[in-house]
Structure formats: structure tokens, C-alpha cells
Chain A
């Protein structure tokens, strides 16, 4: 299967040539929500269902063997992509399930009364609510650390918040709202220095930044496949060797056992121990194909391309009266996410009017209500780039923004 990105990379993505009924071309700028799929991923799914489909690790028949082998090869490739060993990565449906898996598999066992759980105010709800609720169940303290208004973290403030009682630090490496990159290595080091374990929400970082869990030294890293060219409903959770021994299974059923007796069960070794039930085999294989594609494009090139588009956006939009652009101006600390508001215009109206021009963006609270409340804004409009976006896409965005301003002025 040829997965080499074409010289015009957009041609590898069938959906990007969409022209709607009204003649408007699709300008897809909602990549932080979900990315589009290259042809090779779509074809890989098709091939699986046409010639390889069977349940894994069960029967002894040929298809079962092929499916099992492809599934475990996918695990090798995806684990390798984040610098992990295959036995340290479990498949989940995505970041939300991964974080809940940490909470139910590790948190329930290890977080005790009066422990502290630390998150940032800018976390996505999926790295916020599971911890908030765990803290309530355990009578632990749920500490929400502030960030600067530009979304960046003051490491000194963060340091002060971490105490000897801090058990867990759960932080997104990149924020989904403004695309701000946090200094994750330092965060992990500070947390570990006080004996806390670290949970990294990689939903917005793994697709854009070369990730190596060993260098990062985090205890857990969660990520989603569909935000990095893969199918929906597949994602991963890296669990360090130390932590995997402290976990208990949180889903029980087929595929996760060694021996079952009337009165007890001996579980399989990780990762199978934490993957009960029939897994999303096609999803895992499709994500492995996506990872191959990303490697060929190059993670450094991806981030570099996004930065160029971001710089170009600022060049075109900066200084427009009544237009607020959120996030630090130090674009080295950003991925290709542009959150903005037009004075006097609700972002839902912005998104709808942009949609008339074929420009797809996200609007709302971005599942980060505590952060929006902290900033005193209710919501933003958000354009988010990926490597297949072009300067012309940014032109369409900026023209449409100017159109909104005129209509509502």
C-alpha cells in the first residue's frame, strides 16, 4: 500500500476537494475537533473489512490470525510513534476513555482522602471532570491552577501549587482552546520532585508535535486517533511500567483473562489486562496507517507548516478594529490554532456566516467552560490548521471574517 504523501498533499485527502451544492468549496479549518483522512487510511479500512475481518486472539482460523497479527503490528507502530513499548500502550476509544481509564484503573486504587489532584483552569472538560469527580468520591482536594490570560503557564505559580500532598498532576500538553504549548518536561519534573504522578492529555499535542513519552517521562499519556488522520473511535493510553503495576482492571470480560474460576479470576498481562471485549481492530489498523503517513510528512514539518499559517493569519488579521485574537503572541509556543472574537458578534453567528462561504470552523466554549469563565468570555470562534491547509485557506478565512464584520457593523 502506497502511503507516500503526494507532492500536492491535498490530493491525498478525497474530502478536501468537496464542492457543495451552492458551488462553494470546502475550506476545512476545524482540525482541532477532528482531522480529515487520507485515502490510504480509508483504503486500509476497506481492505481490512474486505479481506481480513475477524475477531482477534480468539479462534485458530486463518482470518483470526491475520486480524490478530495486524492488530498487534498496529500497536507496535503506534506505540513506537510516541516512543513507547507496545506492552505499555492500551487501545481505547480516544482521549476521554483513556483519561477515565486512568481514573478508574489507577485513581480509584491510589488516590486517598486529603490527597491533592492538580489540573489547570484551561483543561478540556475531559481532563477536568473525571478528576473533579474522583476527588469528590475520595474526599481529595481538586486544585485548579490558573494560567495567564494568554493561556500560558507561569511555572513559578505552578510550582507553588504542587505540595507533598499532591498525588496527581493532570495537564494537557497543548490547549484545545488557544493551541498553547505548555512546557511539559518542566511540569513533569516539578510534579515528580514532589512525588506526584503525571497525566498528560495529548489529544492536541500528539498530532502536531513529535512525542516521546520516555523523554517526557510522564506516567500516563492519552491521545485520540481521529485528531491525527485516523478513524474515529480509536485512541491510545500510554502507561509507564511503574504505574501499570499499580492499576487494577476497570473493565471485565473477554480477552483480558488468564484463567477464570468460579470464585476468582487470574488476569492476563498488560496490555490485554486492560482491554476487555472485542477491540476496535479496524480502527487500530487504520490509525497505524495514519501514523505511517504522518511520519512520511514529518512531525517537524507539520508543526512548521502550521506556524507559518498562524504567522500569516496574524499578518492578515492583526490590528483589525474590534477583532480579538487569543493566545500568546510568542508563536513558538503555539500550534496552528487561532481563537478569536469579533466585537459584538456571537461566534455562532461568525461560524454560520463563514459556513456560507464554505469555511468550516468551530465556535462555542470548546469544552473548556472553567477557562472561558476565568477569562470572562463565554465563547470564541476557533480556526485550527493542519498540514494540508494552505495560504489560500487562510485567505478565505480572513476574507470571511471581514465579511462578518461588515454585515454586523
Chain B
């Protein structure tokens, strides 16, 4: 594997210009998740419209992998239902674990397949997704 595969253009783009970065004025849930092995942390905020994730934002500090993964995650789940978001999360976590996926729904997030070769870095890629799962769990009906 080459550096340019792990730090693909799309990852570098999202880490330089993270989408949905910041805070929400109105939110239904806020989750703070940390990666104890490195100290990275993410604050994830979500506003729902019924069952749908209508607005989502994150901030915190983390590496290129965790920041870009959070950015791509927020783009993927914005506008979809809680159930759908949970399904995506499971698929993403599975992909990072085994290093491959057939799931086209993961779209740009498939770029993180290569992270599986770096067991210590997989937590970076999944941090924001775990925050999402926690947020959905807390707001489950």
C-alpha cells in the first residue's frame, strides 16, 4: 500500500475542508466521544425532523483519518432515517474491520477500506460513526 492510497485525495480534501464542521443552533442530541488510546475527541450534534436526520454537525480534534471520516459520515447520513443511518454505520464498521465492501451506499466512505491494514488507526475511522450510533441510541423511541 502506498501513502497516497491511505491519504487519498478525497481524504485530504475532507480533512482540509471538513463538511458540516461546527455546531448547530438547535439540536436534539449532542454526543461527546473520545478515543482513549490517542486522546482524539469528537462532539456530534444532530437535529431531527421526525425520524429523519435533518441537520448534523461535528467538531473536536483528531487526525486526518478521523476528521475526514466524520466529514464524509455527516454528508452520508444527512437527510436519511435513523434506521438507515444505523444500517450504514454497521456496514462502515464492518468494512473497516475486514478491509472490503460491496456496499455502494457507502459512497465516498469506501475510501477508508485501506485503514484495515492499520489496526491502530481503524478507531480513527470509526470514531465519528460510533458517536452517531450513540446519538441514535439515545434518541431511540
Contact = CB atoms under 8 A, between A and B. Distances in A.
A364 B6 contact: no
Nearest to A403: B3
Nearest to B124: A348
B98 interface: no
Given A348-B38, A369-B39, A379-B39, A407 B62 contact: no
Given A364-B37, A365-B38, A365-B39, A346 B63 contact: yes
A346 B64 contact: yes
B61 interface: yes
Contacts, number: 42
Interface string B39-62: 110000000000000000000011
A353 B3 contact: yes
Interface in B123-137: 124
Nearest to A348: B63
A49 B79 CA distance: 63
Contacts of A345: 64
Given A348-B63, A348-B65, A349-B64, A356 B3 contact: yes
Nearest to A344: B16
A313 interface: no
A349 B64 CA distance: 7
Contacts of A372: 39
B92 to A, nearest CB: 19
B59 to A, nearest CB: 14
A138 interface: no
Contacts of A347: 63
B38 A407 contact: no
B130 to A, nearest CB: 17
A356 B1 CA distance: 9
A378 interface: yes
B38 A352 contact: no
B97 interface: no
B121 A348 contact: yes
Interface in B1-33: 2-3, 6-7, 12
A309 B39 CA distance: 29
Interface in A347-400: 347-349, 352-353, 356, 363-365, 369, 372, 378-379
Interface residues of A, number: 17
A97 B88 CA distance: 44
A363 B39 contact: no
Contacts of A369: 39
A352 B118 contact: yes
Q: Is the interface of A mostly helix, strand, loop or mixed?
A: helix
A349 B65 contact: yes
A344 to B, nearest CB: 9
Contacts of A352: 6, 118, 121
B32 to A, nearest CB: 15
A36 to B, nearest CB: 20
A216 to B, nearest CB: 33
Contacts of B37: 364
A379 B38 contact: yes
Contacts of B124: 348
Interface in B86-141: 118, 121, 124
A238 B129 CA distance: 47
A407 B6 CA distance: 12
Given A349-B64, A353-B3, A407-B7, A363 B121 contact: no
A353 B7 contact: yes
Contacts of B38: 348, 363-365, 379
A20 to B, nearest CB: 12
B63 A364 contact: no
Contacts of B64: 345-346, 349, 408
B116 to A, nearest CB: 14
Contacts of B3: 353, 356, 407
A356 B118 CA distance: 11
21 contacts: A346-B61, A346-B62, A346-B67, A348-B38, A348-B63, A348-B124, A349-B7, A349-B63, A349-B64, A352-B118, A352-B121, A353-B7, A356-B3, A364-B39, A365-B39, A378-B39, A378-B61, A379-B38, A407-B12, A408-B12, A408-B64
Interface of B: 2-3, 6-7, 12, 37-40, 61-65, 67, 118, 121, 124
Given A346-B62, A365-B38, A407-B3, 16 more contacts: A346-B63, A346-B64, A346-B67, A348-B38, A348-B40, A348-B121, A349-B7, A349-B64, A352-B6, A363-B38, A365-B39, A372-B39, A378-B39, A378-B40, A378-B61, A407-B12
